[in-house]
């Protein structure tokens, strides 16, 4: 066993990708009565590195009578096999009638949104009062994100494509306009939403191929596991609940 793997097992034995936290919340929200819209669905609902990802995704979609996937890249949508109903559209301009859904989800999408207030208005339009908007996104307070924001967009996109093995048409510019707890709370309050749940979650290590940086990353991540340092963790898993209009 290498030094990095040994240190990880010793100091971060429970660490795993933050998508697991998102999946756990999603599974708690999808019920047999849920009308569900997944924004930025791409070519898969859950990542393929989850050993049971395809089976779990199929179970989720099978649990609800009405699920729709929406993405603006048609070449990704045609590869998607889990959600049968799929729409090619911009998430900021949803071609959907008012109040059509009880649940809207977005996995690693919000960081690409330029106008958070506009997105919340549009999601709020298509969701029923009392409905929920679940999203998983990077935390702009995380040190790696703070550093990356100094890097030009083109370089960031190429790096993301190489690291994540994604085609360039599936890698979008990142803006991080709704990516801190305070920004989310402010935009939610202004848009008629209640923050029902907001979790700071550490994710997997990204520097394992560079041992000196990996050792530093393990140390920082171990520090962020402390409750006192939670606000600096890498990712956010958030549930917003749509408030009913006044008088209802």
User: Tell me: the pLDDT tens digits for 193-245?
Assistant: 999 999 999 998 888 888 888 899 999 999 999 999 999 999 999 999 999 87
Per the DSSP assignment, residues forming a β-bridge with 39 are 70, 106
Q: Which residues of 146-161 are buried (b: 16+ CB within 10 A; e: fewer)?
A: eebeeeeeeeebeebe
| Residue 157 confidence (pLDDT) | 56
Per the prediction, the chain carries an average pLDDT of: 90
* Rounded Cα distance, 191 and 147, in Å: 30
Using pLDDT thresholds of 50, 70 and 90, give the confidence band for residue 170: very low
138 lies in some domain: yes
| Residue 211 confidence (pLDDT) | 84
Residue 190, pLDDT above cutoff 90: yes
User: How many alpha carbons lie under 13 Å from residue 104 in its C-beta half-sphere?
Assistant: 29
Give the pTM.
0.91
| Residue 162 confidence (pLDDT) | 54
| Residue 208 confidence (pLDDT) | 82
Phi, psi of 108 (to 5 degrees): 55, 55
Q: Which residues of 100-114 are buried (b: 16+ CB within 10 A; e: fewer)?
A: bbbbbbbbbbbbbbe
85 lies in some domain: yes
248 lies in some domain: no
* Residue reference for tokens 């890249």: 73
* Residue reference for tokens 């599974």: 27
247 lies in some domain: no
| Residue 230 confidence (pLDDT) | 96
Average pLDDT rounded to a whole number, residues 180-185 = 97
- Total domains, the chain: 1
Give the 3-state secondary structure of residue 67.
strand
51 lies in some domain: yes
CATH of residue 32:
3.40.50.150
Average pLDDT rounded to a whole number, residues 3-19 = 90
In the chain, what percentage of residues exceed pLDDT 70? 90
| Residue 168 confidence (pLDDT) | 43
pLDDT in tens, 119-158: 999 999 999 999 999 999 999 999 989 888 776 666 555 6
pLDDT in tens, 65-94: 999 999 999 999 999 989 999 999 999 999
Per the DSSP assignment, residues forming a β-bridge with 67 are 36
| Residue 3 confidence (pLDDT) | 82
The range of the structural domain enclosing residue 71 comes to 3-242
161 lies in some domain: yes
209 lies in some domain: yes
* Rounded Cα distance, 100 and 153, in Å: 35
33 lies in some domain: yes
């Amino acid at each position: 066993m290498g030094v990095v793997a040994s240190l990880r097992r010793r100091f971060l034995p429970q660490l795993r990708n933050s998508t697991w936290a998102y999946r756990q919340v999603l599974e708690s929200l999808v019920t047999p009565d849920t009308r569900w819209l997944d924004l930025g669905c791409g070519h898969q609902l859950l990542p393929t590195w989850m050993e049971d990802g395809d089976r779990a995704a199929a179970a989720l979609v099978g649990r609800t009578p009405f699920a729709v996937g929406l993405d603006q890249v048609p070449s990704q949508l045609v590869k998607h096999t889990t959600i049968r109903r799929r729409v090619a559209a911009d998430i900021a301009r949803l071609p959907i009638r008012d109040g059509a859904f009880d649940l809207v989800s977005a996995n690693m999408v919000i960081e690409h949104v330029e106008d958070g207030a506009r997105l919340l208005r549009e999601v709020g339009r298509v969701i029923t009062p009392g409905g929920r908007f679940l999203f998983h996104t990077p935390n702009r307070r995380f040190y790696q994100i703070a550093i990356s924001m100094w890097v030009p967009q083109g370089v960031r996109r190429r790096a993301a494509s190489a690291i994540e093995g994604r085609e360039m048409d599936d890698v979008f510019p990142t803006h991080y306009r709704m990516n801190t707890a305070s920004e989310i709370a402010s935009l939610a309050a202004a848009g008629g939403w209640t923050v029902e749940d907001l979790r700071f979650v550490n994710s997997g290590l990204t520097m394992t191929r560079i041992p000196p940086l990996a050792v530093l990353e393990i140390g920082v991540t171990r520090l962020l596991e402390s409750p006192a340092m939670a606000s600096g963790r890498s990712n956010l898993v958030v549930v917003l609940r749509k408030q009913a209009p006044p008088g209802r």
